[in-house]
Amino acid sequence: MLTGCQKNESGSAEPTATPEPAEEATEEVTPEPTAMAAEEPEPTEDPIPDGYVVSYLTGEYVPEAIGRRRPVAVMLNNLRPACPQAGIANAGVVYEAPVEGGITRLMGVFEDYDNLEKIGSVRSCRDYYIFYASGFDAIYTHYGQSAYALPFLELPEVNNISGLAGYGDQVFYRTTDRKSPHNAYTSFEGIQKGIEINGYSQEYAEDFQPGYAFCGVDDEVELPGETEANVVKPGYFLNEPWFEYNPEDKLYYRFQYGDKQIDQLTGEQIAYKNIILQYSSWRKYDEHGYLNIDVDEPNVGKYIVNGKAIDITWKKHTPWGATFYYDTNGNQITMDTGKTWVCIIQDTYADRVEILGSDDSSASSTDTQDSEAQAAAEEAAASDTEY
């Protein structure tokens, strides 16, 4: 099975070169990235505009000052009292993963955030998010952490900015429109101050290997098979999110808590080109429900784009490196240019995931959130170390 790039009417076919993943120190042969079909003619590359580079996050042309500056990965509160989030639309990649209490927490990976005076609200770290962030060589930004995350945050491989550090009030601020802990925010200036205080480099590591292989900016991915994906429901319990495909602009629009999910700064619904469902094994750390989600053991998933879905596998080649995604033949998938939303799915809840085609029942959802369950989730989420 090969994922291929199809020429858009407005441009010529142009695959974007992505460095091959580093080889593992085992006898296993690393799968090669997906190639164009052999019968296709040699593509003619359009030159990248002067001063621009191909983004590691989106595959789009971005100014070099942005695209070759290390991104920041910001933990975002996703409880109902914290919605809508501010600045989330600027994230090139968003991760959503479950935490204790049946809720999810988000992590936005930002390269283009220079104009943002408000990002958040920012919440605390969970250990598995540290590894998701490190896959992008991102500077990890959070307000507090669980006890299980602290040993990882103290490792030399991790560059992080914490609201609990002595410099926290120079990076974060609180608003009066929401109650704590839903009102802690940061900004471009705040993050830059945190980077300066900690002495972090904003240049990518010399051995950085991006995990995404993108189609050219004037092309689009055409998935094989007949599995339609007009509506995608990850199956999370509390926020009950879903994505709806719009065939006109070929984007997936995000909903949760029974309504559109918007960016507070723009008032517009957030939308994504690519969706990845990444299944992971997991267990609980303790009786308080803190999760230990496996970030190392290869597993399965789904890649969804342009109204279709395929089965994939995922793996990491180094503990701190990027996650790579492969089709069922072992070829690295080619992703479409644009923003990506990654849903981390606990593998024992795989049966809750729904991918619906045009002939399936309507995806419209009503708000079935139980107020007591929501309150319990908020209490559980507030029990981590944030102050």
Separation between Cα atoms, residue 350 and residue 23, nearest integer Å: 30
Round the CA-based radius of gyration of the chain to a whole number and report it.
20
Q: Which of 359, 368, 79, 343 is nearest to 234 (CA)?
A: 343
In 10 A of CB 287, how many CB atoms?
A: 6
Handedness of CA 84, 87, 90, 96 (dihedral sign): negative
pLDDT at 16 over 70: no
CATH number of 65-206: 3.50.90.10
Distance CA 54, CA 369 (A): 42
In the prediction, which pLDDT does 24 show?
A: 43
Residues in the chain: 387
Mean pLDDT for the stretch of residues 147-165: 96
Which single residue is written with the structure tokens 């390269």?
111
Pairing, β 184-186 against β 172-174: antiparallel
Q: Give me the residue spans of the domains in the chain.
A: 4-36+54-64+210-356, 65-206
Residue 377 pLDDT: 56
What does the alpha-carbon distance between residue 219 and residue 1 come to, in Å, rounded to a whole number?
A: 19
Q: What is the rounded average pLDDT of the residues 72-83?
A: 98
Instruction: Say whether pLDDT at 202 is over 80.
Output: yes
Parallel, antiparallel, or unpaired: how do β-strands 184-186 and 259-260 relate?
A: unpaired
Phi, psi (degrees; rounded to nearest 5) at 132:
-60, -40
4-36+54-64+210-356 folds as YerB-like fold (3.50.90)
pLDDT band at 301 (very low <50, low <70, confident <90, very high): very high
d(CA 279, CA 314): 9
More confident residue, 371 or 387: 371
Q: What is the pTM of this model?
A: 0.86
Asked whether residue 2 carries a pLDDT value surpassing 90, the answer given is: no
**Residue-level pLDDT at 375:** 56
pLDDT tens figures, 212-265? 999 988 899 999 988 999 999 999 999 999 999 999 999 999 999 999 999 999
Q: Over the stretch 325-366, which tens digit does the pLDDT of each residue have?
A: 999 999 999 999 999 999 999 999 999 999 999 887 544 444
In angstroms, how far apart are the furthest CA atoms of the chain?
Answer: 61
User: Rounded mean pLDDT of 194-213?
Assistant: 97
Helix (H, G, I), strand (E, B) or coil at 340: strand
Beta strands in 38-138 (DSSP E): 52-54, 61-63, 72-76, 93-98, 104-110, 119-120
Per the model's pLDDT, the better-predicted residue between 123 and 383 turns out to be: 123
> d(Cα 22, Cα 135) in Å, to the nearest integer?
13
Does the structure show a pLDDT above 80 at 99?
yes
Asked whether the predicted pLDDT for residue 9 surpasses 80, the reply is no
* Residue 8: per-residue pLDDT: 65
Burial class (CB in 10 A: 0-12, 13-18, 19+), 160: buried
Matching fold, domains 4-36+54-64+210-356 and 65-206: yes
Torsion sign across C-alpha atoms 149, 155, 159, 161: positive
pLDDT for 360:
76
